[in-house]
Amino acid sequence: MSKKEQHSFSSVLSINPYKGGYFSAVASSLKIVATPIYSKEQYVISYLNTKSFINSNISVSKNIPQDDLYDAIYNKAYDELGLDQAIMYQIEYIETFGNLEEGNRSFHVFIIDPLAVNDIFRNAVEKVKYIDYIIPAPLLLKSLYSREIIQDSGVHCFIYFQENDTAITIYSEKEFLYTKSINYSFLQMHERFCEIHGEMVEYDDFINFLSRENLKNTNNSYKTSVIKLYKEIFSNINDILTYVKRALDIDKIDSVYIDTELSTLTKIDEMAEVELGIRSSSYNFNYGLLSEESHIDHLHSLMYIYTTLPEKERYECNFTTYHRPPKFTQRDSGRAILLAVAALLLAFLYPATYWTLTYAQSLQYELLVDEYKTVHNIKVTREATIKNKEAEKDKVSKLLAHEQQEYVEKKNTLVKIHEVKVNYPMKANLIQVLTKDLNRHDVRLEVAIYAETEKSDKVEASKGFKLGLVASNDKKITDLVKYLTKTYEGKFHFSINEISYKVEEKLYFGELRVNLL
């Protein structure tokens, strides 16, 4: 079901209208239903096999308004396909987007005689009354791609054998492209088998052989005839695929998926791969469904998955004529009855409602008066408390401001005392140490400057001296810098950018920077 439908139905009933098979699905669990009955809580879905409808491609102009699109496709289908004008066919369609003619929109149409629909679903409708969705079987395969059960792209061919029909369906790039019924349903295969075998064989015996015997191992007398039959079938399929590739301009078919509604021991996919020369697999897809049945017709699994997809991820192509009646509230008669009942209820309820509202209003007024008195007393008490607290707050705030002022003054005094006590002796001691080193290297001190910088976003805080050095030889200055750097490594950082020579004084000058680490 789509997301909208999931809220309305608790189960899904899928129908094989050709064999009368019914499966019920609840919470991803499938089970066979021997005697189906009508239930408004179940969503009912079925299908039409490929043999039951006509299908073709129709192109119409892009200029046709959406409201007139169905009529345009309907009329063109009658004209191009030569449909019997005396029959009002049911026509459904899906839009295709490959190999578009310029200025046109392309549609794949599915056409069926309504009388054929009635014949196919007569027995099912007698049991379940309504069928919510009837879809062409080839379109169910779209579910495999929407659910990413098949993730590969390319051109895929699906072949499915049933009692009443065998169909070839082709999907290209995960979109429906082509379908055709071939004359090899199990009933037709039985007739052809009897011709090849040269004698009449019961249909049940033929089916039992196909489902219970493995052609690789069996010695049954039917083996040779069945092998010939399969070769004939694959030869016919190969001819059809050759035609389709040429007609639809397909380079190659990437994969073949082949299976039957029977549970068979013979690996038909292996035979197909040998005969067709295309990679082949069975329909053993991971549907994510649970069942106690040993084998389930794959179309039942596909129908259930189809109902769980959102509308945008599946093909919308519904042939049902067995719709449920609208809900009681959506029918004209239902609305009229509900309106009459509502009018009667209003006529009787108005006096009682008026009295009830009057009594409730008076009761509410008395409760509000009592509540006001209580709240007013609380308000007066709290206002008095707030005034007292505000007076205490002002008094405490003034005292706090006075104490903070005294704290700041004492702090500033202590900072100044620390500066005098710690920093000045440290500076003098540093000058004394450096002076000894200057004398040792015969370098004089011209000027000494102490400087501090505060920390900012771009500069780290620092303390240090700028010493103006004077010497008769520039080597004395460089030796001094090397000595100081080595001796006081880890304590100070020394740097000198330039040593200059003054001719008049015949002396060398340099500015030594000393940073305290």
State the CB neighbour count (10 A cutoff) for residue 237: 22
Residue 35 lies in a domain: yes
Whether 135 and 214 have beta carbons less than 8 Å apart is answered as: no
Residue 167 lies in a domain: yes
Whether 42 and 5 have beta carbons less than 8 Å apart is answered as: no
Give pLDDT, residue 426: 58
Statement to judge: residues 11 and 134 lie in one domain: yes
* Confidence grade of residue 330 (pLDDT, cut at 50, 70, 90): low
pLDDT digits (tens, 9 = 90+) for 366-416: 888 888 889 888 988 898 899 889 888 989 988 998 888 888 888 888 877
Statement to judge: residues 111 and 40 lie in one domain: yes
Main-chain phi, psi angles of 21, to 5 degrees: -95, 135
Question: What is the C-alpha separation between 4 and 27, in angstroms, rounded?
Answer: 16
Statement to judge: residues 511 and 397 lie in one domain: no
Give pLDDT, residue 267: 92
Tally of domains in the chain = 4
pLDDT digits (tens, 9 = 90+) for 418-439: 765 655 545 667 777 788 888 8
The predicted model gives 63-88 an average pLDDT of 92
Statement to judge: residues 79 and 219 lie in one domain: no
Main-chain phi, psi angles of 446, to 5 degrees: -85, -40
Whether 132 and 29 have beta carbons less than 8 Å apart is answered as: no
CATH of the domain at 493: 3.30.70.2830
pLDDT digits (tens, 9 = 90+) for 465-485: 888 899 988 888 898 889 888
Residue 434 lies in a domain: no
CATH of the domain at 102: 3.30.420
Q: 155-161 and 166-172: which strand pairing?
A: antiparallel
Give pLDDT, residue 433: 78
Give pLDDT, residue 452: 75
Statement to judge: residues 1 and 123 lie in one domain: yes
Mean pLDDT of the chain: 88
Question: What is the C-alpha separation between 210 and 263, in angstroms, rounded?
Answer: 9
* Lowest-confidence segment of 245-249, 411-415, 494-498 by average pLDDT: 411-415
Question: What is the C-alpha separation between 475 and 510, in angstroms, rounded?
Answer: 12
Give pLDDT, residue 449: 83
Give pLDDT, residue 10: 85
pLDDT digits (tens, 9 = 90+) for 95-111: 987 666 678 899 999 99
pLDDT above 70: residue 332: no
Statement to judge: residues 185 and 276 lie in one domain: yes
Q: Is 252 helix (H, G, I), strand (E, B) or coil?
A: coil
pLDDT digits (tens, 9 = 90+) for 8-29: 788 999 999 999 999 999 888 8
The label of the residue with tokens 């519904």 reads 318
Burial class (CB in 10 A: 0-12, 13-18, 19+), 400: exposed
Is the Cα dihedral 252, 253, 255, 258 positive or negative? negative
Residue 387 lies in a domain: yes
Residue 433 lies in a domain: no
* Confidence grade of residue 459 (pLDDT, cut at 50, 70, 90): low
Statement to judge: residues 145 and 161 lie in one domain: no
Give pLDDT, residue 457: 65
* Lowest-confidence segment of 159-163, 249-253, 264-268, 417-421 by average pLDDT: 417-421
pLDDT digits (tens, 9 = 90+) for 123-145: 999 999 999 999 999 999 999 99
Give pLDDT, residue 440: 86
Give pLDDT, residue 427: 67
Q: Is 499 helix (H, G, I), strand (E, B) or coil?
A: strand
Whether 131 and 228 have beta carbons less than 8 Å apart is answered as: no
* Confidence grade of residue 242 (pLDDT, cut at 50, 70, 90): very high
Residue 117 lies in a domain: yes
* Confidence grade of residue 329 (pLDDT, cut at 50, 70, 90): low
Residue 436 lies in a domain: no
Give pLDDT, residue 325: 77
The domain boundary, picked from 217, 252, 284, lies at: 284
Q: Domain span at residue 170? A: 151-284
Residue 21 lies in a domain: yes
In percent, the amount of the chain with pLDDT more than 70 equals 92
Give pLDDT, residue 425: 47
The domain boundary, picked from 396, 427, 458, lies at: 427
Question: What is the C-alpha separation between 218 and 264, in angstroms, rounded?
Answer: 13
pLDDT digits (tens, 9 = 90+) for 261-302: 999 999 999 999 999 999 999 998 998 888 888 888 999 999
Give pLDDT, residue 456: 67
Statement to judge: residues 277 and 352 lie in one domain: no
Statement to judge: residues 467 and 399 lie in one domain: no
Statement to judge: residues 168 and 261 lie in one domain: yes
DSSP H or E segment with residue 379: helix 332-418
Statement to judge: residues 159 and 140 lie in one domain: no
pTM of the predicted structure, to 2 decimals:
0.64
